[in-house]
Structure 1
Amino acid sequence: MTRRTETHANTRLSADPAEWTAGNVQKWVLWTEHLYKLPPMGEAFQELDGKDLCALTEADFRQVSLHAGDILYAHLDIWKSASRMQESSSPSDSWSDEADSHAPGQTTHLWQFLLELLLHPHSYGRCIRWLNKETGIFKIEDSAHVARLWGLRKNRPAMNYDKLSRSIRQYYKKGIIRKPVASQRLVYQFVNPVSLREEDLKSHS
């Protein structure tokens, strides 16, 4: 099966958001709103096809909804990462391309920061590492060091892992990061929209 014919099992959308029609974009927005209980935003995207949607910045999404636009943007960003991973013979290259696509000066979110550390194992492999890159599962090996690095990035000297872990748990509700089915301490998973199971949708209905 080629990448162009692969579809999301629940939404029947192409795995590559850039290939979506305007109708597909609406379907994705409505599906994500339902799954994560977001306010209605579909009207703002009704004239856009997939290429137009992928060209929007996080600031554009936040103009649509101050409180939920960043969540929708994060889901699209992760969806694009998953698509690149599918089409690439080297998962490392696909994740790296996506992570490097964030423009300088943009606000770095915690989930982006964790991915950034994971993509540089020679520098940070002792404190955070992939357990299964294809499914987005990773483990924080040195929680104090990761928290310290995040504090330096955000200029928050008092940052510790208790505060960091609370921020990570906030992503559970947003569907950006979750605990894997076989849960272990300090093991997390980036939600891969292409591999979401049908029961995930039912559990949020």
Structure 2
Amino acid sequence: MEWNCGNVQKWLLWTEHLYRLPQVGKAFQDLDGKDLCSMSEEDFRQRSPQCSETLHAHLDIWKSEADELWSEADSSCSGQPIHLWQFLRELLLKPHSYGRCIRWLNKEKGIFKIEDSAHVARLWGLRKNRPAMNYDKLSRSIRQYYKKGIIRKPDISQRLVYQFVHPV
């Protein structure tokens, strides 16, 4: 990520405002984009214990968007293991292959439905090399994203319907 220290501070201010977080900018004032992207969740926790999960998760969203847009460019942020939310988005972006098991209800708002929960869980298990994966385990992981501000239930709650907080 080609951000200087000022860009990192602007991103932090925007993220603090978006998630109503306490100000953490001083803890990150010496970092440029490359340094920020190389931080683990534990590194975030050391600099900002109360906001680390949200900041790290939000940065993951930015990094994956950048990777997708400039997949051929050399990026210091790539090479990390895939997260479930990224995997779900990957399936959603290939409707010709996975439209029977997961589909958009409203792409602009980031609302999607898992049509075949067992199949999606099997695919995730294959991807992560966890053959015992089932939908109970998968849905537990999805619910963890509620706290991180990545996925939520839409305003009109339906079974197996979810919404990306920041539309894809």
TM range (shorter): 0.7 to 0.9
Q: Which amino acid aligns with 1:121?
A: P
SS of corresponding position for 1:149? helix
Residues 98 and 61 of structure 1, relative CA distance in 2, 3 Å threshold: farther
2:10 is aligned, of 18, 24, 49, to 24
Contact residue 113 and residue 150 of structure 1 kept, 8 A: yes
SS of corresponding position for 2:154? coil
Show the counterpart of 1:72.
55
Contact residue 30 and residue 42 of structure 1 kept, 8 A: no
Bigger RCO (CA 8 Å, 6+ sep): 1
Residues 123 and 46 of structure 1, relative CA distance in 2, 3 Å threshold: same
Contact residue 99 and residue 115 of structure 1 kept, 8 A: no
Residues 119 and 31 of structure 1, relative CA distance in 2, 3 Å threshold: same
Show the counterpart of 1:119.
93
Kindly state the Cα deviation for residue 155 of structure 1 after the two structures are TM-superposed.
Answer: 1.0
Distance in 1 of aligned mates of 2:88 and 2:55 = 19
Q: Which amino acid aligns with 1:24?
A: K
Distance in 2 of aligned mates of 1:149 and 1:23 = 38
Kindly state the Cα deviation for residue 75 of structure 1 after the two structures are TM-superposed.
Answer: 1.5
Residues 47 and 32 of structure 1, relative CA distance in 2, 3 Å threshold: farther
Contact residue 137 and residue 190 of structure 1 kept, 8 A: yes
Kindly state the Cα deviation for residue 165 of structure 1 after the two structures are TM-superposed.
Answer: 0.4
2:111 is aligned, of 113, 130, 137, to 137
Show the counterpart of 1:160.
134
Aligned counterparts, 1:122-201, within 5 A:
122-192=96-166
Q: How many residues were matched structurally?
A: 157
Bigger helix share = 1
Contact residue 110 and residue 163 of structure 2 kept, 8 A: yes
RMSD of the TM alignment (CA)?
A: 3.5
Residues 109 and 70 of structure 1, relative CA distance in 2, 3 Å threshold: farther
Distance in 2 of aligned mates of 1:113 and 1:119 = 10
Q: Percent identity?
A: 63
Distance in 1 of aligned mates of 2:78 and 2:88 = 17
Unaligned runs of 5+ in 1: 1-17, 85-93, 194-205
The yes-or-no answer on 1:60 pairing with 2:39 is yes
Residues 116 and 26 of structure 1, relative CA distance in 2, 3 Å threshold: closer
Distance in 1 of aligned mates of 2:9 and 2:44 = 18
TM-score by length of 2: 0.73
Contact residue 79 and residue 192 of structure 1 kept, 8 A: no
Show the counterpart of 1:97.
69
